[in-house]
Amino acid sequence: MNSQNNILILHRNTSKETLDYIVSLASDKDVRITYSRYNTLSVLLENGCPMKIYIGDNEITKNNYDLIYNRTERTFLIDCLYKELTSTKFLQFAKPYRKTDKFWQYATFHEQKLPIPKSLGIFKEEINNRIDFIEKEFNYPLVVKGVTGAHGQSVYLANSRKEFLAISQNNFDTIQPVIIQELVENIGDYRVIIVGFEYKTSFLRKGAKGEWKNNTSLGGEIIEEEILPKFRDIAEKACKILDYPLGGVDIIVDKKNPERALLLEINPSFQITSGNGEYKEKAEYITNYLIELLKK
């Protein structure tokens, strides 16, 4: 096997079945992929000595891997890999943390004239003082969410002032702002898969009965329905703007106005395994892209 065809995947909770499938796909193309959870990383700093990086008990050096694909930004230790392994290629690696900040994404998209739901970023301490302004700009029900979080977490629906004040005061910290957003009536939202900055596939997610959020992690249904071609360009442009070669782009289409498609967010480490258990199509896209990177 070519010594220049070694790839490491660092992940948070991707299933072993999915990762083993990626390994087998690459093996058929004479590429060796290994994987490990990000929390197996450790870094040793000692005065007068070079930085030492370990995955488990194994020290990682510049010659171990030709490409590292990082599926999480959950630990600053990963930045140490980037700083030390200067001869290694990295995918989705050491991105500024603000890129995963939802309001930063919204502000960036707004600046570039990409469509987003009407949104307000505000710190929770200021909400009581600005409640009249907020209610002038937004109708109930309205969406209240944190600037970070995934799988539908830290996202709430407020149907009245009382609910809104309770949600905003009891569910968010004081360090990061709260996002207040219009509720877009819809039949679901689309998860658009972008690989290499190009559209690959998409599907419609519809919330479980009695659930207003469409996340599959909350029991949402996956419907085999691709987003219209005229909206795919929005997803590609959004990933290019944030410099995300891979992205799970969430786009919602207004039920009352099907010509109105809005960006909800981009997940740079999108789920490979969907709620219906399917993973092979997305795994194949990622595998082929990783191998293409080796050739560049």
Q: What is the pLDDT of residues 97-112, one digit of tens each?
A: 555 678 888 888 898 9
User: How many Cβ atoms from other residues are within 10 Å of residue 276's Cβ?
Assistant: 12
Does pLDDT of 142 surpass 70? yes
pLDDT per residue over 86-97, tens digit each? 778 888 654 545
| Among 104, 37, 96, CA closest to 70 | 37
Are 6-95 and 118-182 the same fold in CATH? Answer: no
Region of residue 92 (phi > 0: left; psi between -120 and 50: alpha; otherwise: beta): left
Does pLDDT of 185 surpass 80? yes
pTM for this predicted structure: 0.80
Does pLDDT of 13 surpass 90? no
Higher per-residue confidence, 3 vs 53: 53
pLDDT per residue over 191-205, tens digit each? 999 999 999 999 998
Bridge partner residues of 37 (DSSP): 11
CATH number of 189-267: 3.30.470.20
pLDDT score for 191: 92
pLDDT score for 20: 96
Angle 128-264-249 (CA atoms, 0-180°, nearest 5)? 155
pLDDT score for 2: 47
Query: Long-range contacts of range 13-18, CB-CB < 8 Å, 24 or more positions apart?
Result: 13/37, 14/71, 14/272, 14/273, 15/272, 15/273, 15/279, 17/279, 18/272, 18/273, 18/279, 18/283
Distance CA 101, CA 265 (A): 9
- In the 8-state DSSP scheme, what is residue 195? E
Distance CA 12, CA 100 (A): 16
* Portion of the chain with pLDDT greater than 70, in percent: 89
Q: Cβ(145)–Cβ(102) under 8 Å?
A: yes
Pairing status of strand 142-146 against strand 189-195: unpaired
Distance CA 56, CA 36 (A): 9
CA 15 to chain centre: 17
pLDDT per residue over 233-270, tens digit each? 999 999 999 999 999 999 999 999 988 999 999 988 78
What are the residues whose beta carbons fall under 8 Å from the beta carbon of 56, sequence distance 6 or more? 36, 40
Residues in the chain: 296
Q: Which CATH architecture has domain 6-95?
A: 3-Layer(aba) Sandwich (3.40)
User: How many Cβ atoms from other residues are within 10 Å of residue 57's Cβ?
Assistant: 7
Bridge partner residues of 20 (DSSP): none
Stretch 164-187: mean pLDDT: 86
pLDDT score for 37: 86
Does pLDDT of 46 surpass 90? no
| DSSP secondary structure, 245-277, as one string | SEEEEEEEE-SS-TT-EEEEEEETT--SS-TTS
pLDDT score for 150: 66
User: How many Cβ atoms from other residues are within 10 Å of residue 160's Cβ?
Assistant: 11
Which homologous superfamily does the CATH classification assign to the domain defined by 118-182? ATP-grasp fold, A domain (3.30.1490.20)
Distance CA 170, CA 221 (A): 30
Higher per-residue confidence, 25 vs 101: 25
What are the residues whose beta carbons fall under 8 Å from the beta carbon of 183, sequence distance 6 or more? 141, 142, 143, 157
Q: Is 190 exposed, middle or buried (0-12, 13-18, 19+ CB in 10 A)?
A: buried
pLDDT score for 48: 76
* Portion of the chain with pLDDT greater than 90, in percent: 41
Spans of all domains in the chain: 6-95, 118-182, 189-267
pLDDT per residue over 114-139, tens digit each? 999 999 988 888 888 889 999 999 99
Stretch 57-72: mean pLDDT: 87
Distance CA 116, CA 260 (A): 10
pLDDT score for 276: 58
Stretch 277-285: mean pLDDT: 83
